[in-house]
Structure 1
Amino acid sequence: MGPELGEVIVEFVRNGPYVKCSAVHAATGVEVSAIGPAAEPRAVERVAIAKLKRALSQR
């Protein structure tokens, strides 16, 4: 997840052709999620991590 973030908990939930990826920053409890095609879960995870980085930078 990158050393600058620290510990990040990632969860995937599939719903038909879509997957929801939630990412939680363990130290602060900030949570974000991203939804995308189930065929590309790692791409959806990258989007969620990018959203988490952006959310943390705005704090």
Structure 2
Amino acid sequence: MSRDPRPGEVYLEFRPVGQQVKVSAIDAATGIEVSVFGPTSASQEDLKRIAVRKLQRRIEQEKGSGREPDSNLY
């Protein structure tokens, strides 16, 4: 079952790495991905908020540079 991504839709992945958690945030529409690390003691909401902010900033940087993200990845 496939569907078109909605604007603003973000996929999040939380992966423990030792005493840290790696959070990956992927914009569904563009495929842009960023990662952040935080301590395992941090709340998921805090880590999610940081990852989404970083993703939003990266998307704005891509728009400002005039570069279009690769849409031919798949």
State whether TM-score is above 0.5.
yes
The bucket for the TM-score relative to the shorter chain is 0.7 to 0.9
Unaligned runs of 5+ in 2: 1-6, 63-74
Q: How far did residue 15 of structure 1 move? A: 1.6
Q: Which residue of 2 aligns with 1:29?
A: 31
Identity of aligned residues (%): 45
Taking structure 2 as the reference length, the TM-score comes to: 0.68
Taking structure 1 as the reference length, the TM-score comes to: 0.83
Q: How far did residue 16 of structure 1 move? A: 2.3
Q: Which residue of 2 aligns with 1:18?
A: 20
Unaligned runs of 5+ in 1: none
Structure 1 outlier segments of 4+, above 2 Å: none
Q: How far did residue 22 of structure 1 move? A: 0.2
Structure 2 counterpart SS, 1:58: helix
Report which of the two structures shows the higher radius of gyration computed on alpha carbons.
2
Check the 8 A contact 1:21/1:33 in 2, yes or no: yes
Q: Which residue of 2 aligns with 1:52?
A: 55
Alpha-carbon distance in 2 for matches of 1:21, 1:30 = 14
Q: Which has the higher contact order (CA 8 A, sep 6+)?
A: 1
